[in-house]
A and B are shown apart, each in its own frame.
Chain A
Amino acid sequence: MSANARYLRLAAGLVAIAALMVIPMNFNRYGLFILSQWAVMTIAAMGLNLTLGYAGQVSLAQGAFVGVGAYASAILTTHGWPLPAALGVSILASFIVGWLLGYPALRVQHHYLAFVTLAFSTLAFLVFRNESWLTGGIYGISNIPRPHIFGFATNKPLPFYYLCLGSLGLVSLAVWWLIRSPWGRAFMALRENPLRAQSLGVDTRRYTLMAFAIGSALGGVAGGLYAPLTQYIDPVPFNLSLSLDLLMMVIVGGSGFFFGPFLGAMIAVLLPEWLRFTQGYYLMLYAIAVILLLIWSPTGILGILDRFLANRRTRVASALRAVAKSRLETVQ
């Protein structure tokens, strides 16, 4: 990438961050809630994007990990724990459970793995619903407090939105680092050709488990923020449909692209609000749009952009080659 393009990207990034901070200042309570929800769901989708998009491990359980994180955070903060400590437990709990769920992936892949994770999703839902001594059962947990961060109260919607946005920023930096590190390369190797990866010394077992554990831990982060966002949780939001929604966000945004989850979550969370005027037709429109998108570009919205850029690169490269060749012929 040329220096200019890099500065352009940096500038675009800064503008986007500034817009995300400044524009919502005028939003009402509901608007801020939706935007906070977008930030939280983006974190969860980034986790799934890591497991599925980069490492190629199908998972229909991301919603369950959001649930694990949400319950851990809700239970602990209602018992007087500060949110950062509770978040730590959310992350650890979902990391460990995610690691364990990775073991089946060492034996089964693709749609078989989807079924294993689907079963886990159902299991987690049943635990949330039936173990009322811990989770409050169908009555759930209410009065979840919002935290004080460095002495700032986040009771009001705007400060809490900033908390979510800040968390999204930190998670983004961490994920960016991860996918650019040798680990990220090993994850992609796992996705593209595990057999070859093994023969190059890549410990595919350990990386598979890590892909599950880290992806799930990000689900836990999202859950840990979701609980104080809604201030009330019950089992219903964490059933299979959340996992499917998150999968949709990853696929629609562009699986295996860094910014895919941002876009996917935006469409899944904000589009229903914008399409409210269509009333009952929203879901139908959404379904049709998704079908058309995936026919046109199976790699999601960012896949379209990627194809466009790749085509242009190829054209530039072949033009350069032609020039070099003609020079060579002239010299001879």
Chain B
Amino acid sequence: MSAVLEVTNIKKSFGGITAVDGVSFDVRQGEILGLIGPNGCGKSTLFNCILGQLTSTAGEVKVDGRAVTGMRPSELNRLGVSRTFQLLQVFPKLSVRENLILAGQEHQGNMMSRLVGRSDAGLSEAANQMIGFFKLDHLAGEQAGGLSYGQQKLLDAAMAFMGGPRLVLLDEPAGGVNPSMLVDLKDRLVAINREKNATFVVIEHNMEFVMSLCSRVMVMAEGKVLAMGRPDEVRANPAVIDAYLGH
């Protein structure tokens, strides 16, 4: 299988602190890669560097074999790379449905056709399907800001899928989501992964969630890759137990 994402020797320093220190890895088509590690080990910074939200100090990122280093987040998104955020990032004053339409509209036509074309950019149906898929039906017309934390997390994830992305980077999707909703979320992710052959990289602290969802897990510590392998291998790795999992 070919690599959807290739990351080579990414470095990012903030003044004297090196948050990401020469990280290299690749993600294969259709894979779900888990990314774990202690707080402050550079996971989110790595995401931001890959996605162009931060300019990396050194290194290279390729998507489908194409160099995308330094590309703007909006351009990268239109190439099929999407993300969710660790902290809530929905548009609070827009309704749930509007949030989803917005999340997909820039993938439809061009600037001009979006100005003169339909108000929903032809996405009402797709938005409704996504709402149903994430079980947000009863909230479709509500302002996103009025939803509970867990519901907003679900919406956030749903938004990342509206553009039909090939690669999605999820930053702590399970954080703050209650257990029953968590099962739903996992089901949805697995379904999208299988049906759409979408590739995921998932940052998460919930070990059960990561270990059951991911086919491979990468462990970071102090900006570097500490271990990479199948969930059971990683869980048994003494260095990982020492740095992160605990005894």
Contacts and interface: CB of A to CB of B under 8 A. Distances in A.
Interface string B85-116: 10001111110001001110111100100111
A195 B53 contact: yes
A30 B82 CA distance: 59
Contact of A180 (B93, B119, B146): B119
Contacts of A86: none
Contacts of A314: 146
A199 B77 contact: yes
A20 to B, nearest CB: 27
A150 B106 CA distance: 41
B74 interface: yes
B53 A200 contact: no
Interface in A4-24: none
A189 B102 contact: yes
B72 interface: yes
Contact of B102 (A200, A206, A310): A200
B198 to A, nearest CB: 16
Of A178, A185, A206, A321, most buried by chain B (CB within 10 Å of CB) is: A185
A273 interface: no
Contacts, number: 90
A185 B98 contact: yes
A185 B105 contact: yes
B159 interface: yes
Interface residues of B, number: 38
A182 B119 contact: yes
B53 A201 contact: no
Nearest to A256: B93
A195 B77 CA distance: 12
Contacts of A193: 89-91
Contact of B92 (A185, A192, A206): A192
Interface string A151-191: 00000000000000000000000000010111101101100
A182 B159 contact: no
A202 interface: yes
B85 A196 contact: yes
B91 A201 contact: no
B51 interface: yes
Contact of A201 (B92, B115, B117, B163): B163
A204 B85 contact: no
A231 to B, nearest CB: 36
A184 to B, nearest CB: 8
Given A196-B91, A198-B74, A200-B82, 18 more contacts: A178-B115, A181-B114, A181-B115, A181-B116, A182-B106, A182-B114, A185-B98, A192-B94, A193-B90, A195-B85, A196-B85, A199-B73, A199-B82, A199-B89, A200-B77, A201-B107, A202-B74, A310-B143
15 contacts: A180-B119, A182-B117, A185-B102, A186-B105, A188-B91, A193-B91, A196-B91, A199-B89, A200-B77, A200-B106, A200-B163, A201-B107, A201-B163, A310-B143, A317-B142
Interface of B: 51, 53, 72-74, 77-78, 82-83, 85, 89-94, 98, 101-103, 105-108, 111, 114-117, 119, 121, 138, 142-143, 146, 159, 162-163
